[in-house]
Chain A
Amino acid sequence: MAELKKDPVVVAATQVLAHVPGMARHGSKPSRELPRDPAVEAEFLGSLRSFDEAVAYPPHQAFVGAIHPRALPARPWTDTPPGQASRWAPGGEVMPEEEFLGLLASVDTAGLLTLGADLAERALGALGDHPLAKHFALGQLERATGDVEAAADGVAACPIHVGAGPMEASLRAGDDVDQSLTGAVLLENLAAKATATLALLHLLDKEQIDPASVDYVIGCGEEAVGDRYQRGGGNLAKAVAEAAGLSEASGMDVKDFCAAPIPALVVAASLVKAGVFRRVAVVAGGSLAKLGMKFQGHLRNRLPVLEDVLGGAAALVEGDDGASPTLRLDAVGRHRVAAGGSAPQIMESLAMEPLVRLGLTTTDIDDFATELHNPEITEPQGSGNVPERNYKTLAALAARRGDISRDEIASFVESRGMPGFAPTQGHLASGLCYLPHALDRLKSGDATRSMIIAKGSLFLGRMSQLSDGMSVVLERNRQ
C-alpha cells in the first residue's frame, strides 16, 4: 500500500453548460419580478439570447475548456458575433435547451415531467445524435410525452418554455401540499441532476473510465434536495451516480454554500488517501435559482439576459498515478472561526497560511483561482469585478510579505490571476470552474502549482454571521 503515503491526484475534470433561456424566468429573481409587471416580462423575454449567441459568448468557451481564461478577448464579450465557435470542446459542451429538456426527461426517475409531442420528437432526434446517446435513457422521452396543458393544470406544477416560445413542457409537483416538492423546486433539483450527470458522462467518456470502477460520488452543487421533513436531505450525488451508470458507487453531498466544491475535493482525496475508496468522483450541477439573478442590471444597460446557462462539473480523484496533478492534503487552507471576516483576513487564512505551512511564497503559485464570477454579469448590477477584487487583496498581502514589490502588484494580478468567466452560480465560480484548466497546465508543465480558493456566504442561512472558505494546492506530479 505504498501509494497511500503519497497524496492523491485529480485525474480529470470536465465542464458543461446547458443554455436554458426559457427556464431563466424560473430563476428566483425573475420568478418574483416578472409577474409584477408585464412590461418587464416582455422586455425580459425579448432580451434572451439565441443558442448560437450563447455558444459564441467567450466566457462560455472558457468554461467548457475550449480556451484558457487568460486568452479571453477584450471586453465587451457580448459583442462577439455568433458562428465562429463550436458547442463542443474536449470533454465539454454547450447543450441547447430543447435537447436539455429531453435530458431532463431521461433522468426523471419520478416520471413527473411531461413533454409536448413536438418537443419530445425534436429532443429525441437531437439526443439520438449526441455522442453520449447510448448513456441516455431515451425511452423515458416517449413515456414523458403527453398533454402538457393538462399536466400544467396540476397543483403546483411548473410550466416550461423553450426560449421565449409557448409552453411545451410541464413538471408536476411531487406532492400536492409539500412546499419542498413543488414543480418549481423539483425543476431546480432535476436541472442540477441533469447538468451534473452530463458533466460526469463526458468525463467518463473522455478518459475512457469504466463506470463500475468508481466507488463513490460526492455532490457539491447548490441544491439541497429533500422533502418537508428534511428540506436539505441531500444525496443528489447518488442520483447522479445512478443516472450515469455507476453501478458500484454510492454517494453523498457536501454542503458549504458556494465553497462546497473544495471541501468535496478534500474529502474525496482524504477518502482515497485513507484507503477507504480507490476512485471518487466529485460532481456539481447548475443552480436554476440563480438564472436571471442580475437581469435588471442587464436590461438597464441594454444587455441580453446573461444568466441563461446552467453549469455542470465533474472531477475524478484517485491514488497517485505518477502523471496527474497532486492534490496536496498538507496544504488545505480553511477559514477558522476566529480568523476574522474582513477580505484581507479571509485571504490571509485561505491563501497565506497554507503557503507558510509549506514554506512557499505567493510567487511559487503560478495560478490563483478564486470566485471567478464573470464581471460582465456582475458589474451592471453594482456587484463590481469580484475576481479582480480578490486578486488585489492577494497582491496586497503578497507585497506586505515581501514576496513582490509594490510596483509588481499590477503584474502579479495579471500574470497569476485571470478574468472571471463563470456563470454566477457561486459553487462553479468559486474555483471549481478553473479545475480543467489547472489540470491542463499542470500536466503540460506550463504551471507547477495552482491554488484554488473557494468562499461561501454562510451568513445567508441566518444561523451565523460568518462566511466560510477553503483552499487547495494542486501540484505538477513529481514523477
Chain B
Amino acid sequence: MDLDSQEQILKLSELHGPSQLTVIIGAPDPEAAEITAETVVRGDPSYAGALAGAQLGLDVYHVLDESISSDVPSDVWEAQIGVMADVLEADALVAAVAGMREPPSEPS
C-alpha cells in the first residue's frame, strides 16, 4: 500500500477510532488485495509506511464482496467497476481479504 494512503488511514483511525472505520479495497489481484488488507489489519509488512507496527485491526472488504457491491447504486457501479467485474476473479479477491479479517492462525 502506498505511503500516502497509509498516512491517511492512520490519521482517520486516530480521529474517529479504528472501530468506526471500514476499508474497501479495489486491488485487482488477490496478492495485492491480501497485502493491502494485511497492512490495515496487522500493520505494513514492508515496514516502510505509517502503518508499520500499527495493528489497527480495521474492518476490511474487497469492493467485489457482495456485502459492499450490493450497497452501490447501479449507475455508479457500471461507470466505475462494471467492466472490471467481468474479468476479475471475485471469489479469490473476496477470499484473500476475508482471510485477513480472521485472527492469524499462528501466534506472531
Q: Which residues of A contact B27 (CB under 8 A)?
A: 384
Tell me whether A344 and B82 are in contact (CB under 8 A): yes
Residue of A nearest to B88 (CB): A392
Q: Which residues of A contact B35 (CB under 8 A)?
A: 382
Report the minimal beta-carbon distance from A306 to chain B, rounded to whole angstroms: 15
Report the minimal beta-carbon distance from B94 to chain A, rounded to whole angstroms: 16
Docked pose: A275 CA to B17 CA in angstroms: 64
Compute the total of residue contacts between A and B using a CB distance below 8 Å.
56
In this complex, the member of A343, A382, A384, A409 whose beta carbon has the largest number of chain B beta carbons within 10 angstroms is A382
Report the minimal beta-carbon distance from B81 to chain A, rounded to whole angstroms: 7
Report the minimal beta-carbon distance from A279 to chain B, rounded to whole angstroms: 41
B interface majority secondary structure: helix
Q: Which residues of A contact B7 (CB under 8 A)?
A: none
Residue of B nearest to A345 (CB): B79
Report the minimal beta-carbon distance from A399 to chain B, rounded to whole angstroms: 7
Docked pose: A404 CA to B54 CA in angstroms: 47
In the complex, whether B46 has a CB less than 8 A from a CB of chain A is: yes
Select B81's contact among A342, A381, A383, A385, beta carbons within 8 Å.
A342
Q: Which residues of B contact A135 (CB under 8 A)?
A: none
In the complex, whether B15 has a CB less than 8 A from a CB of chain A is: no
Report the minimal beta-carbon distance from B96 to chain A, rounded to whole angstroms: 12
Q: Which residues of A contact B79 (CB under 8 A)?
A: 340, 342, 345
Tell me whether B32 and A384 are in contact (CB under 8 A): yes
Tell me whether A344 and B83 are in contact (CB under 8 A): yes
Given contacts A382-B35, A383-B32, A384-B29, contact A296 B48 (CB under 8 A): yes
Select B86's contact among A33, A342, A406, beta carbons within 8 Å.
A406
Docked pose: A33 CA to B46 CA in angstroms: 11
Given contacts A296-B46, A382-B1, contact A409 B31 (CB under 8 A): no
What are 9 A-B residue pairs whose CB atoms fall within 8 Å in the complex? A296-B46, A296-B47, A379-B31, A382-B36, A384-B31, A388-B29, A392-B87, A396-B84, A397-B83
Residues of chain B touching chain A, judged by Cβ–Cβ distance below 8 Å, are 1, 27-29, 31-32, 35-36, 45-48, 79-84, 86-88
